[in-house]
Structure 1
Amino acid sequence: MAKLLLNLRHVSDDEAADVRAFLEANAIAFYETQPSRWGISNGGIWVEDNGQIAEAKRLMADYQKQRQARVRAEREQAVRDGSAETFADIVREQPLRVLLTLLAIVFLLALVALPVWLLHH
């Protein structure tokens, strides 16, 4: 029976391609399911043979360690050279989104505080 190796929810295309590549390079049989039409499932990468799942998980753990180190180094370099995205950059690029998000936060806080306010008045 096949085992899920990677749920593709919030997985970038390059990461999924890397996983496919290391599975193919190590001759691990796998298949991929596509996202559902209504967004219930986001698809996944499945290892076909239960005998290969331990090796696939070991390779996945090694890959994730390497990717984490690389991405952290890239982020640190971006912070050092000033090219990292900041909150101010987001406000400049998407002011409406930031404003609507802040309004939603204020609305939800008010909604949570409403019962307390009503009980005291």
Structure 2
Amino acid sequence: MARRFFRLSGVPDDEAQEVRALLEDAQIEYFETTAGFLHLSVPAIWLVQDEDLERAIHLLQAYQQQRQQQAQQDTSPRLSFWQRAAFEPLRTAGILLAVMAVALLGLLPMLLLFWR
């Protein structure tokens, strides 16, 4: 009986591809399910043989530790809001205008009642 091994919802494409490659390198038979047309199903990687589950879990744990170490070593600078706004002024202005428009639409009924 097939066993769900790895849920794919919310997983970056590169990580999903690396998990597939991990299983293929270990010659573990698997198949995938998608969320389907109405997104009612579970996108996941399933193992065909129950006997492969324990070995696959150990491989996945080692992979995730390696991925975590790589993420911790990533020292790329994080931009603050003001730095990002300086790099993308039109995008920042558009976002601020959209936020103000939504706030105005939300407050409009109260403002109309207040001014009567």
TM-score normalised per structure 2: 0.70
In terms of fraction of residues, the more helix-rich structure is 1
The percentage of aligned residue pairs carrying the same residue is 29
Within-5 A mapping of 1:15-26: 15-26=15-26
The answer for the alignment partner of 1:78 in structure 2 is 76
- Letter of the 2:20 counterpart: R
Distance 1:17 1:100, change over 3 A: same
Distance 1:51 1:39, change over 3 A: same
Distance 1:55 1:90, change over 3 A: farther
Distance 1:2 1:68, change over 3 A: same
- Letter of the 1:62 counterpart: A
Within-5 A mapping of 1:77-116: 77-79=75-77, 84-88=78-82, 89=84, 92=88, 94-95=91-92, 96-97=94-95
* Number of residue-to-residue matches in the alignment: 102
Say which one has the larger Rg. 2
Distance 2:36 2:71 in 1: 30
Distance 2:32 2:13 in 1: 13
CA deviations on 1:11-64 (whole Å, 9 max, x unpaired) are: 111101100001000011100112221223351111111000000011111100
- Letter of the 2:29 counterpart: A
RMSD value over aligned CA atoms?
Answer: 2.9
The answer for the alignment partner of 2:107 in structure 1 is none
TM-score normalised per structure 1: 0.67
Distance 1:30 1:67 in 2: 22
Distance 2:56 2:34 in 1: 20
Q: Secondary structure at the match of 2:31?
A: strand
Distance 2:85 2:30 in 1: 39
